[in-house]
Structure 1
Amino acid sequence: MSKFRTFFFALIGLILMSGLLTAQVGLTGKIVGTVTDDEGTPLPGITVEATSPKMLGTTAVITDENGVYRIFALPSGTYTIRFSLEGFNTVVRKDIILSADVVKTITVDITMTPGAIEEEITVLGRSPLIDVKSTTKGMTQTRQFFEMLPRGRNFDTLAVAVPGVNTEVYLSGLSVDGASGAENMYYIDGMDITDMDDGERDQQAAFEFVDEVQIVASGYQAEFGGAMGGVINVITRSGGNEFHGELISYFSGSALNSKERDTLRLDPLDVTVAEYVNYQDLYGKDKVRRYELGFSLGGYVLKDKLWFFGSFLPVFRTDTRHVEWVPAGSAPESDHDYKRTWLNGQAKITMQPLKDLRLSASFNNNWYKYRGELPGRDGTGNPDKNWAEVGYDYPKWSATIHADYTLGTNLLMSARGGIFYKNMTNQQVEVPADPRWRFRKEAPGYASVNNLMFTADYEAAGLEHLLHASGWSNIGYADMFETKKQVRKRMSGNFDLTYYMNLGGEHALKAGVQWVRIEEDIDDTINEIYVMIGWDREFTHLATGETERGTYGYYAIRGGDSGAYGTFANPSSHRWALYLQDSWTPEFLDGKFTLNVGFRAEKEDIPSFSDLPEYQYAPIQFDFFDKLAPRIGFIYDVYGDANFKIFGNFGWYYDVMKLSMAEGSYGGFKWISDYYLLDDWDFTKITKTNPAGAGAYIRSYNWRIPS
């Protein structure tokens, strides 16, 4: 009764958590095997205990009637396994290296001999085992691995050590087997940190925070989706049964760099001429200083029950550039600073409240801000721009929670979860308080115009300064906009069951469900109005073709009485996935052959960003039957000792839709133009509070009705 009660409450807890949790890649592996006597007879009832410095407590299982044992939900690490039964010599297998890359399975078979219970046989020094159940192609990079190599400051800088992975500038970063960087999936502790707008990596983790980096290039099983390229997953550091800490410092800068290379450019005074120049010789080297100073501390609250780890590593970087404006003498030479600050921090708690239940929670923070901007080195920028005022704040963090519950040697229940949050706020440049007036006829049809044909009217009023050439405007287009917020959130849930059974060989069946919710709350609009003036032009009604004009033409207002101009929306989208997979090791071929078969079905929609009642539906929808993704693979353990395998796989994969398309095409960008007759040559009378200051209202057109 007590075991049933424990199982019941653990199951209820996991189901409740799965509603809050996020779909994640597998973060744990398993060790399996068969225990036999010296005549090859399976031994049931053997106690198998696994320990590791990376794992809370001890995991113990009992071999079944076939002598088979399975130890689930093991974090990466070096393990010691102890096999014991009264009447047999105890066997201890040491230095078993487990790397839990998407899910790692290693086999450790043991032969026990009859003998005194006090006698113990220790096996040492065997070469690392490989996974003979998986078709995955990739690499797991441990702390020992990347601490020996030259590397950058972020976790993905060593991914190119994996065959088929390259850094490609024109493919948005890491290219895996020819796919673009936007087709990868990035995770920290299993939490999806992929940018939901363009698919690139959207968070970072310094190597001092990282225990492992897992790069998977191909061969994913059916539980994984959304990647046409690779899967890059970071496992952050955990505590342990001993206290450990570090003081961290780092410096890099231009003072440590050699002379710059020559650069090929177009002559800023004659774009028909291409030339090689050395900017350092011309203007001096850009001065770059990057400082990092932080700490980490890990240990235990309760030995073998509750561990903790935390770290904090702020980064301060300043780039200084000397600019000589062209043409020479057009403006005084000047120096400009580009300052960036990252407040990087990470925390993790690992616990084992029940014998067969393990929980962990982690938090990763990358709050970021920048101040200032650098003009181009060739001096062609705008010398009148206040470059020092540019800047934004970017609060950014992710949090995860994991739960694994094992029941005997046949059943594993797993729930994974978390949330990702990012904002873009605190714009430093103040938006001008005046409307933007532009001399350009607006749709239907565009043309740059001027008011010089009415020179006599301006001269009579003594306002010649209001005369301008075609296309004139008083404010730059981008300068009108203010980003009040750009909040992006991702929440999702994953729950699955793994069950082992014997039917013509061993089957490892896994079934699960995943749910993902993405949301964007954005307000990037203009505060004033945007006035486009069609001097001496006629307004055309689209439906009838009729035309009309005022004394001086007509004008259009964006961001006026009819609504905002810019990106303004708060859409959300949901994705669901169901998957079933089986790893079957048949009885023939002495258990050397394994067949992996899986099937995945995904349901996804792209949200409408529109606030119009007639467009309150998802413009693009995929049902489960629209995104069916079968997977099949085989593995052959050539010598039967888990040291050499031949494997292959085939899979059907689907990308996930990005929000950038929906934002631009399905109502995210708001644009309604209000049209007026132009009966007054003084266009400065047209203001936000008095849009009809120069003429009567004609009508409005919504130019961004969702496609």
Structure 2
Amino acid sequence: MKKNKSLGAALKTALRLGAGAAILATLPLHVSHAAGSDGSLVGKIIAGDQGSLEGIEITARNPETGFTRTVKAEADGSYRFPFLPVGTYIVEGSRNGAPLGKLTEVTVGLGAATTADVTVNLSNLEEIFVVGTRVVRAVDVRSTESATNFTREDLERLPVARDIQSVALLAPGLAKGDDGLCQGDNCGVSFGGSSIAENTIYINGLNVTDFYNRVGASAVPYAFYKEFQVKTGGYSVEFGRTTGGVINAVTRSGTNEFEYGTEVAWEPSWLQSERKNRFNPDGSPRIIGSYDDYDRTSATFYASGPIVKDKLFFFALYEARDYQPNNTTDRGDSLYEAKEDDGFWGAKIDWQINDRHLLELLAFSDENEQVRDAYAFDFAAGARGPYQQTRYTNNGGLNWSSTYTAYLTDNFSAKALYGENNREYSRFSQNDLECSRIRDRRVSPADDLGCTESSNITSRDDTREAARLDFEWVLGDHQLRFGLDREINTSKYVQYYPGPDRLLYEIYVTDEPETIEGVFLPAGTEYVWTRQNEVDGEFETENSAYYLEDNWQITPSLLLNAGVRVEAFDNKNSDGDSYIKMDDMVAPRFGFSWDVKGDNRTKLFGNAGRYFLPVANVINIKQAGGFLDRRTYYWFGGLEDFEYNGVIKQRPILGEQFAVDDSQGDGTVGDLRGEVDADMDPVYQDELILGLQSMIDDKWSWGVRGIYRKLTNAIDDMEITSTGIICDGAPVGAGYVMANPGRPVTIYSDTDCDGESDGWVTIDTARAGWALYDDDGNYVGEVGYPKPRRNYKALEFMIDRAWDDRWSFNATYTLSYAKGNAEGPINSDTDFGDTGRTEAFDNPWVNYGSYGYLPNDHRHQIKMRGGLALGEHWEIGGTLTAQSGRPINATGRCNPFDDVCFFSFFVFNDSTGEYELRPRGSGGRTPWIFDLGANVTYRHSFAAADLKVTLAGYNLLDQQRVVEVNESLGSTGAQRNQFYGFGTGYQAPRYGMLTVKLDF
């Protein structure tokens, strides 16, 4: 439309040439970029009048920071800005030095390729023509990956808990982990059927994932974040070390405007509904929760602005915290009152050295200490009894990173990062220092008699040193991306039993005649067993990789993506020698995106890729340390009373020592060649995705995605009772070996029956490795172990309406099937949380007949979220998650094949005297859960400040439905577990949060 003369003259003087734009922005699905705090801007200048595009230059300018980049457009008008810091940009142009003026304004999102295709009329420099209009679209035809982005503004409109896990759970196909594997408030997230120990989390490009156990990450306050990206599949080769998903987040930064503000968030106990008590059929307490509550307050203060305008900026934040949780034991016999009040601090410095060189520094500390007082408690009377102990739990640490970005030419850019991620952990009490743990094993379950129940005292200091280089080089229709990264993950670990003598005391009685270290004990003999079990060492793992990727724009409508990532993992023992070493792991990845109609509104996309999973440091520590393990045996001389903190406790009277066993460890690292496969294969997952996404109009879009994932291989500890070498009619065993179940295992063993390891043997564990004996104890042969299997198949459907200052809506439905015999490196069947030591392959019978639907199989998931503006000042938001239940097993302890009793899928039938196989899921499923949240927000702008007050409610239906049950059936008759099927985990009760925010 032609402008009037006066307006045209004014604009002609300022701009000399007008332009209009058709813009593609705000993308739920994005192309991935380097794991950092940036995105990219791509597009094409189109001559509406067929004019020449020679000499066209495009400038992207951030008005908040003054950062400016200019590139020359290609002959066809295409242009690209890689590694752009997240933010809003004004796109301007020039032709042969003559300014074209402002073409459009775009927002560059995290990990996103924002597209701005601009149509201009080049034939008349005296007139301004609008030849297009700005539209917001949700289809990125240059993307082959699956990801969901959330900005701070998006999340402020929704009732979302203030942690990164809750943000991730908004994405389709993700489910919360089992209650039995929670670490504090963190229960982990399952991506696409994977276990909770297979994900990676980045903050500003720094990997902050817990590498000790791969569950959890360094904690950053909600107010420090600017944008989140949740990658659920098909991500690029620069991302690795995960067979689950990636959470990528960027923090806030300073601008040319001085800003400061505060935000207070309060979760009072009076906004929480009461947790329900659960009782056994005989009326005894099973889970007492009615006294569980908390009060949580955080007060955040931030300031940001320029140190040097257009050059140097700062952002600083401090969060004061006060968290006071109270809870009882499940039996309701002890009450815990805790307090956490350590503050968080974080800072970001951005230096725009010039238009071609950027430097950013990030630092934050999430150090925290919880002080928890324990008291005796009578839940029926609600009466607190005598003080028992105070426990101190410390975690967190100092984290920092430095990132340098260089735009070396218009077509060649580089990025370098170095940083450290620190997480310390320790837990102890005064009782642990003064009291030894004393357990009476003559009864079941065992009684704790002494003045501490702590299993051990542990101190751990985990430090990751991370470095990476990323490059991008555009050569015509090819966008080449390549780089390398390396992490050194070091765990300093100390563990020992509580007490001044660092001994565990346990009292036993023999049910049958028994011989201990050559000493005969008749049935009914009582004795005391003390154990000193310690490890103290430094354990290091090196993970390295390099990658190369080509994004080839074959035609204007068809993009092909081909890349390869080559990885290496090296886990070392406490002497610094390699324990598990795997290299030359090749992970190819391919993808395509087809702009079906050529109008940037509908795309068909797909990808195929391989992803490798590293071995967690817990394996080095638990399997390859300098262990001291000494067991001493005494005759039992009775019990004596003693007083501690005003309470009478008991301890055993030690009689004469009659045996010592110090063969399990002398404090040095032994010869581990007989305990780890010398030719181990890595764990990896193959993934296939095919999807379609399309615009309905300029606000509405819809999509569908099909997903197939197959986990290949596992690394776990297996008990090898036969190496294939027969000595005196019996096979030579090897004990527990870290290896690949169901694959050949090579270890150093005794080959000539002299009792000493002297050669290498290979056992095909698909057919051998476990010795069988007849009723007379004669060796009769052997069997192998099942191969690990995990498959995930899913269909995802999505419909989305983008926010337009009035309302927004998003709904997804996921139909999925997670099936196999191995969940992954974490085992929810038994709630065994040492990653990579799941018990699933300890012997062949644990996994025999166990193929079926896995713990993370939630057949149906429906997720909805949306916001609505009610005039100028009021907004409401809501979220709803409806999720079908997980499978319930019916497991036993023994098997019909030999006399080994351990977790199995066989249940003893008392009426027939035989074992029955109960496949996975034979106990049905837990019920559907529904989680409804809502919030209401009041906004008001004053002369000097913007006020926002939000009241949010979570789990408004207060269902508290069961999410996990006791799955141990045992037998069908007298030995049946009376607690089978009873709930062991439930939805958290309804709670609320009030937030008051002031920005100046």
Q: TM-score, normalised by structure 2?
A: 0.55
Question: Aligned in 2, Cα 1:396/1:325: closer, same or farther, shift over 3 Å?
Answer: same
For 1:244, the equivalent position in structure 2 comes to 259
Are the equivalent residues in 2 in contact too, given 1:250–1:291 (CA < 8 A)?
yes
Gaps of 5+ in 2: 1-32, 182-186, 641-653, 676-1000
For 1:166, the equivalent position in structure 2 comes to 175
**Deviation by residue 1:470-505 (Cα, 9 ceiling, x = unmatched):** 98986367547433x310111121112211113xxx
**Deviation by residue 1:401-445 (Cα, 9 ceiling, x = unmatched):** 2111112221011112311111124734243546667788xxxxx
Aligned counterpart in structure 2 of residue 201 of structure 1, from 216, 226, 250: 216
Helix, strand or coil for the counterpart of 1:570? strand
Question: Aligned in 2, Cα 1:133/1:270: closer, same or farther, shift over 3 Å?
Answer: same
Aligned pair 1:631/2:592, yes or no?
A: no
Aligned pair 1:518/2:489, yes or no?
A: yes
Aligned pair 1:621/2:581, yes or no?
A: yes
Q: Name which structure has the greater RCO, CA cutoff 8 Å, separation 6+.
A: 1
> In structure 1, what is the Cα distance between the partners aligned to 2:236 and 2:446?
58
> In structure 2, what is the Cα distance between the partners aligned to 1:556 and 1:264?
36
Question: Aligned in 2, Cα 1:118/1:38: closer, same or farther, shift over 3 Å?
Answer: closer
Aligned pair 1:183/2:183, yes or no?
A: no
Are the equivalent residues in 2 in contact too, given 1:94–1:122 (CA < 8 A)?
no
> In structure 1, what is the Cα distance between the partners aligned to 2:528 and 2:371?
38
> In structure 2, what is the Cα distance between the partners aligned to 1:132 and 1:471?
62
* CA displacement at 1:240 relative to structure 2: 0.4
For 2:407, the equivalent position in structure 1 comes to 406
> In structure 1, what is the Cα distance between the partners aligned to 2:391 and 2:289?
24
The one-letter amino acid of 1:701's match is: S
* CA displacement at 1:238 relative to structure 2: 0.6
Helix, strand or coil for the counterpart of 1:431? helix
For 1:141, the equivalent position in structure 2 comes to 150
Aligned counterpart in structure 1 of residue 557 of structure 2, from 586, 592, 596: 592
> In structure 1, what is the Cα distance between the partners aligned to 2:342 and 2:128?
57
Aligned counterpart in structure 2 of residue 266 of structure 1, from 280, 293, 305: 280
Count of residues paired in the alignment: 609
Helix, strand or coil for the counterpart of 1:255? helix
**Deviation by residue 1:219-250 (Cα, 9 ceiling, x = unmatched):** 11111112222211221111001011111112
> In structure 2, what is the Cα distance between the partners aligned to 1:554 and 1:166?
48
> In structure 2, what is the Cα distance between the partners aligned to 1:361 and 1:513?
21
**Deviation by residue 1:91-144 (Cα, 9 ceiling, x = unmatched):** 42223232132x535253443504448979797533247432221112111121
Helix, strand or coil for the counterpart of 2:612? coil
**Deviation by residue 1:573-600 (Cα, 9 ceiling, x = unmatched):** 101111111000114xxx1100000111
Greater percentage in helix:
1
Greater percentage in strand:
2
> In structure 1, what is the Cα distance between the partners aligned to 2:272 and 2:455?
40
Alignment of 1:420-431 (within 5 A): 420-425=421-426, 427-431=428-432
The one-letter amino acid of 2:122's match is: T
Question: Aligned in 2, Cα 1:204/1:582: closer, same or farther, shift over 3 Å?
Answer: same
* CA displacement at 1:203 relative to structure 2: 2.2
Alignment of 1:124-135 (within 5 A): 125-128=134-137, 130-135=139-144
The one-letter amino acid of 2:149's match is: T
Are the equivalent residues in 2 in contact too, given 1:91–1:122 (CA < 8 A)?
no
Question: Aligned in 2, Cα 1:433/1:373: closer, same or farther, shift over 3 Å?
Answer: closer
For 1:9, the equivalent position in structure 2 comes to none
Gaps of 5+ in 1: 1-22, 441-447, 450-468, 560-564, 685-691
Alignment of 1:28-107 (within 5 A): 28-35=38-45, 37-38=47-48, 40=50, 43-53=53-63, 55-86=65-96, 90-101=100-111, 103-107=112-116
Question: Aligned in 2, Cα 1:593/1:428: closer, same or farther, shift over 3 Å?
Answer: same
Question: Aligned in 2, Cα 1:477/1:89: closer, same or farther, shift over 3 Å?
Answer: closer
> In structure 2, what is the Cα distance between the partners aligned to 1:439 and 1:645?
67
> In structure 1, what is the Cα distance between the partners aligned to 2:110 and 2:628?
50
> In structure 1, what is the Cα distance between the partners aligned to 2:140 and 2:247?
19
For 2:568, the equivalent position in structure 1 comes to 603
Aligned counterpart in structure 2 of residue 643 of structure 1, from 597, 601, 608: 601
Aligned counterpart in structure 1 of residue 299 of structure 2, from 283, 293, 305: 293
> In structure 2, what is the Cα distance between the partners aligned to 1:114 and 1:674?
92
Aligned counterpart in structure 1 of residue 235 of structure 2, from 208, 215, 220: 220
**Deviation by residue 1:21-46 (Cα, 9 ceiling, x = unmatched):** xx971432222234354554652332
Aligned counterpart in structure 1 of residue 549 of structure 2, from 555, 577, 581: 581
Are the equivalent residues in 2 in contact too, given 1:33–1:110 (CA < 8 A)?
no
Question: Aligned in 2, Cα 1:86/1:680: closer, same or farther, shift over 3 Å?
Answer: closer
For 1:361, the equivalent position in structure 2 comes to 361
For 2:347, the equivalent position in structure 1 comes to 347
The one-letter amino acid of 1:577's match is: A
Question: Aligned in 2, Cα 1:176/1:672: closer, same or farther, shift over 3 Å?
Answer: closer
- Greater mean deviation of Cα atoms: 697-706 or 208-217: 697-706
Helix, strand or coil for the counterpart of 2:563? strand
The one-letter amino acid of 1:353's match is: I
Are the equivalent residues in 2 in contact too, given 1:529–1:557 (CA < 8 A)?
no
Aligned pair 1:568/2:536, yes or no?
A: yes
Q: TM-score, normalised by structure 1?
A: 0.76
Alignment of 1:462-541 (within 5 A): 475=450, 478-479=453-454, 481-483=456-458, 485-502=459-476, 506-526=477-497, 527-530=500-503
The one-letter amino acid of 1:317's match is: Y
Aligned counterpart in structure 2 of residue 235 of structure 1, from 228, 236, 250: 250
**Deviation by residue 1:188-216 (Cα, 9 ceiling, x = unmatched):** 22211211122222222222111101111
Question: Aligned in 2, Cα 1:128/1:64: closer, same or farther, shift over 3 Å?
Answer: same
Question: Aligned in 2, Cα 1:52/1:355: closer, same or farther, shift over 3 Å?
Answer: closer
> In structure 2, what is the Cα distance between the partners aligned to 1:24 and 1:657?
23
* CA displacement at 1:353 relative to structure 2: 1.1
> In structure 1, what is the Cα distance between the partners aligned to 2:319 and 2:531?
45
Aligned counterpart in structure 1 of residue 163 of structure 2, from 154, 166, 186: 154
Question: Aligned in 2, Cα 1:217/1:567: closer, same or farther, shift over 3 Å?
Answer: same
> In structure 2, what is the Cα distance between the partners aligned to 1:648 and 1:303?
45
Helix, strand or coil for the counterpart of 2:578? coil
Question: Aligned in 2, Cα 1:84/1:323: closer, same or farther, shift over 3 Å?
Answer: closer
For 2:629, the equivalent position in structure 1 comes to 672
Are the equivalent residues in 1 in contact too, given 2:39–2:110 (CA < 8 A)?
yes
Question: Aligned in 2, Cα 1:674/1:322: closer, same or farther, shift over 3 Å?
Answer: closer
* CA displacement at 1:567 relative to structure 2: 3.5
Helix, strand or coil for the counterpart of 1:390? strand
* CA displacement at 1:349 relative to structure 2: 0.7
> Percent identity between the aligned chains?
24
Aligned counterpart in structure 1 of residue 314 of structure 2, from 300, 308, 315: 308
Question: Aligned in 2, Cα 1:385/1:106: closer, same or farther, shift over 3 Å?
Answer: farther
The one-letter amino acid of 1:583's match is: N
* CA displacement at 1:63 relative to structure 2: 2.8
> In structure 2, what is the Cα distance between the partners aligned to 1:632 and 1:471?
55
Are the equivalent residues in 1 in contact too, given 2:436–2:451 (CA < 8 A)?
no
Question: Aligned in 2, Cα 1:538/1:432: closer, same or farther, shift over 3 Å?
Answer: farther
Aligned counterpart in structure 2 of residue 702 of structure 1, from 645, 661, 664: 664
- Greater mean deviation of Cα atoms: 382-391 or 511-520: 382-391
Helix, strand or coil for the counterpart of 2:622? helix
Helix, strand or coil for the counterpart of 2:165? helix
Question: Aligned in 2, Cα 1:697/1:212: closer, same or farther, shift over 3 Å?
Answer: same
For 2:393, the equivalent position in structure 1 comes to 392
